[in-house]
Amino acid sequence: MGDRARRLAAGVAVAGACSLLLVNEWAIQRTRQALASDDAMLATRQKLQQLQVTMLRAENAQRSVLLTAEPALTEAFLAAQQQVEPLLTQLRQQQAGPAQRQAAVLEVEELTRRRLSEMATTVQLVNEGRARAALELVRSGIGGEYMRALEALVGDTLAAEAERMRQQRQALLDTLALGRAAIAALLLISVVAMGLYMRQSRLRERERAQQAQVLRDQRDQLETEVARRTQDLREIARHLQAAREDERSHLARELHDELGGLLTAAKLDVARLRRPLRELAGAQAPEFADVEARLAHLVQTLDSGIALKRRIIEDLRPSALSNLGLKVALENLCSDFAERSGLQVQADIAEIELDDEREITLYRVLQESLTNITRYAQARHVDVQLHLQPPGWAALAVRDDGVGFDTAAVPLRARGLAGMRFRMESCAGTLQLHSRPGAGTTVLAQMPLQAVPGG
């Protein structure tokens, strides 16, 4: 709809501009034609008036010759006669136009020549000394008729030219008025078209604003829904982690109570058997010599089982975390890791009060980070820090000087990082990973000291 309206508005604008140019050009051409016609009619009027004046001078010169009978006055008549011919030639050249106008010019020329011929005859007769014959010719009235007819024809021609000039001026005024009206109409159409275009533009802007508002509302709704579902997922993840930790704690207690009791009872039974067996072995050494060795091996196996049970229990639920607090538990985890891996571990652990969920989360993050160092880092030194960070946050940083890796090329799930991140997010915290090939790796876990409402 918008593109169609824009194309229509552009078409109307182009059509209006072309129409305005055409009307303006038409008015200019009509004006030029009218002005050219006016010039021609003015020239014709001027030549006719000059012809009238010249014929009057010739007539006056004729009368002077007749009255005085002196040949010297003939020069004035001849001068007037010589001026008539160029005027007639110019009138013939300007006779383009209506047929009626051309016929009038030809008739004027004919009458002028006749009158001029009559006057030339009388002047010639006077010059020849035949003045009486000249007077008789004048008294015949032929020249007067020619002159009256010429004057009437010239008057009619001048009146006709004046009427044509008036009509031409009126046509010019009509053309100008029509051009003015056309321009005004085109301007009015342009104003109306511009108004419609602006109205359509406002409607389109309003529609775009409404669409943008709808999109913003939908986006806000989606963001709200995503936030709600993300919160639901966090709650589910938190519940699953809590359930998992509960299961691990339950399993650790079962192993400690049941398996620990069985292994301890078995070890006590072996200890009770060793004394009587030693007495029997002293009496009958060949038969019971091997029994003592097997009992010693059994005691070692039971001790190994008890140690394995303790490690499994510590992995499932570190007893130091429940009994001695987060600081001691993390320090023990670092020292055990240094003893098993042979790496130099520097631990700077601050005393921070957290709830059980946050303590086990930080413990698991450090545990997973140390496991990754053992598997991938090829490091020689590990630095572990836990400290307070304003405002009211705990920050755990684990750094190694290993080979590092490209974080963009290795997915988080490949090294158990996704689990650590989910744990941190379930406590409204964050997990950041910084690493470059050859520059080691830093894991930074941050969380608020207390649970965030709704988070």
Instruction: Identify whether the C-beta of residue 123 lies closer than 8 Å to the C-beta of residue 97.
Output: no
Instruction: Identify whether the C-beta of residue 357 lies closer than 8 Å to the C-beta of residue 366.
Output: no
Instruction: Identify whether the C-beta of residue 367 lies closer than 8 Å to the C-beta of residue 414.
Output: no
pLDDT at residue 170, rounded to an integer: 79
pLDDT at residue 1, rounded to an integer: 47
Rounded Cα distance, 390 and 108, in Å: 119
Rounded Cα distance, 279 and 46, in Å: 171
Burial tier of 178 (Cβ tally within 10 Å: 0-12, 13-18, 19+): middle
Could you tell me the pLDDT band of residue 213, with boundaries at 50, 70 and 90? very high
Q: Is the pTM of this model over 0.75?
A: no
Read out DSSP for 95-126? --S-HHHHHHHHHHHHHHHHHHHHHHHHHHHH
Could you tell me the pLDDT band of residue 10, with boundaries at 50, 70 and 90? low
Instruction: Identify whether the C-beta of residue 266 lies closer than 8 Å to the C-beta of residue 302.
Output: yes
Structural element, H or E, at residue 441: strand 441-448
Rounded Cα distance, 247 and 408, in Å: 35
CA distances from 151 to 71, 109, 115, 144, 273 (A): 28, 12, 11, 10, 174
Could you tell me the pLDDT band of residue 199, with boundaries at 50, 70 and 90? confident
pLDDT digits (tens, 9 = 90+) for 181-194: 877 877 888 788 77
pLDDT at residue 396, rounded to an integer: 94
pLDDT digits (tens, 9 = 90+) for 238-291: 777 777 777 777 776 777 677 777 777 777 777 777 667 666 655 555 556 666
Closest CA relative to residue 430, chosen from 405, 393, 384: 393
Cα Rg of the chain (Å, integer): 65
pLDDT at residue 376, rounded to an integer: 87
Could you tell me the pLDDT band of residue 39, with boundaries at 50, 70 and 90? low
Neighbours of 42 (CB within 10 A): 12
> What is the average pLDDT score of the chain?
77
pLDDT digits (tens, 9 = 90+) for 106-118: 777 777 777 777 7
Distance of CA 363 to the CA centre of its chain: 52
Average pLDDT over residues 94-100: 58
Burial tier of 376 (Cβ tally within 10 Å: 0-12, 13-18, 19+): middle
Residue, of 144 and 86, whose pLDDT is higher: 86
Letter for the amino acid at 267? K
pLDDT digits (tens, 9 = 90+) for 419-446: 788 888 888 889 988 988 888 899 999 9
For residue 109 the two structure tokens come to 């020329």
Rounded Cα distance, 321 and 337, in Å: 16
Instruction: Identify whether the C-beta of residue 44 lies closer than 8 Å to the C-beta of residue 91.
Output: yes
